Structure 1
Amino acid sequence: MTTSTSTLMTIHEVSQRSRLSEPTLRYYEEVGLIGPIARDESSGHRRYRDSDLDNLQALACLRAMGVGIEDMRTYQANRMLGRSAAGEQRDLLARHAQRIEREIATLHVHLNYLEAKAGLWDARDRGDAEAEAEASARVNAMLGELEAVLA
């Protein structure tokens, strides 16, 4: 089924192309992130346009980065406003970039701790008392940093 301006797609096709589940697509329409989506006159099934898919692909990227529904809603509204909302759009994205930077820093602490603990157990497994003492000192030195990111 086509029109002169765009291809109409089923929910299944859009789900595959956007990598969002069909229930998520319905939910995004229900909460006003997209749509309203056109319906097939005979069956009542959703029929998505290219512009709907474009919006959904943007939302899928935001979702993958951990952006919540309210910020997605703001992002979508700002997309419609274009240049006049550029500053707010920049700030929204920068705020999430900072959140991800904090998450990465936390993950680095977790990684370093796990590697230090693995080194400790490796030394124990090998029966190397000197390496075990050094690894234990590294683990103990990291405890404050680990506690800080867990708080």
Structure 2
Amino acid sequence: MSKTLSFKTYSAKPVEVERKWYIIDAEGQVLGRMASEIAKVLRGKHKAQFTPHIDTGDFIVVTNAAKVALTGKKEDQKSYFSHSHYPGGVKIDHVKDVLKKKPEKVIEHAVWGMLPHNNLGRQLFRKLKVYAGPEHPHAAQVPVEMKIK
């Protein structure tokens, strides 16, 4: 007679998730590598209690977004395409122009592309705070500095 072991799969509940605040200085960081680390923390994949359908992630504050680095010729060649679904509604923005006008959008666009495109992804994306300069209004949350490899 053999005994069978029965293990229960752990599933995190939204009320038992403990959230932390992290701060990242984007100065000199490579955009894609930084965005993938941010997406991982927003999703909660760095925690042992990760559950795919529950928001188990933490908050991220990114400063100095205007000083983010792009590798290769991306600064000159990369562009963002959008269409309004009306005739002639094509809009193409180049990264160089976006970095001058709204540098936060470059990081937000990169991170959004790495999150799930559903209600959970939108909920996760709201926990990302990006600022062009070194100042941010989240000092009261006492964010811990996070180093990107």
Q: Highest relative contact order (Cα 8 Å, sep 6+), 1 or 2?
A: 2
Give the TM-score normalised by structure 1: 0.23
Which structure is higher in helix share? Answer: 1
Which structure is higher in strand share? Answer: 2
Give the TM-score normalised by structure 2: 0.23
Larger radius of gyration: 1
